[in-house]
């Protein structure tokens, strides 16, 4: 990310956003692995629990930054390749 003084804005390269997306997907994978959830995706049997809330927070953070990770709900993203 760089600050562009003439426009008084920050600019972020596509490469930086791609790396950030990879880090976020990696974090989701390791949250799932730490809670014995399938990295390919899972169906929640009941109310949201800690791993689902953590994943939802990561998905929301990505969306706020303009990054579409490929899902907008916990358990729906396949992160097995990360």
Instruction: With H, G, I as helix, E, B as strand and everything else as coil, classify residue 3.
Output: strand
Q: Quick one: pLDDT at residue 44?
A: 85
Q: Quick one: pLDDT at residue 82?
A: 87
Q: What is the largest CA-CA distance in the chain?
A: 52
CA 40 to CA 48: how far, in whole Å? 18
Per-block average pLDDT, block size 10, for the chain (82 residues)?
89 92 97 96 91 97 94 95 90
Q: Quick one: pLDDT at residue 45?
A: 82
Q: Give Cα 25 to chain centroid, integer Å.
A: 5
Q: How many CB atoms lie within 10 A of CB 38?
A: 13
CA 44 to CA 34: how far, in whole Å? 16
């Amino acid at each position: 990310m760089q600050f562009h003084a003439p426009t008084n804005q920050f600019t972020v390269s596509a490469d930086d956003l791609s790396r950030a997306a990879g880090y976020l997907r990696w974090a989701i994978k390791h949250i799932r692995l730490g809670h014995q959830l399938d990295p390919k995706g899972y169906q929640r049997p009941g109310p949201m629990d800690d791993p689902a809330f953590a994943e939802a927070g990561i998905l929301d953070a990505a969306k706020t930054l303009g990054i579409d990770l490929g899902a907008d709900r916990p358990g729906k993203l396949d992160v097995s390749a990360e």
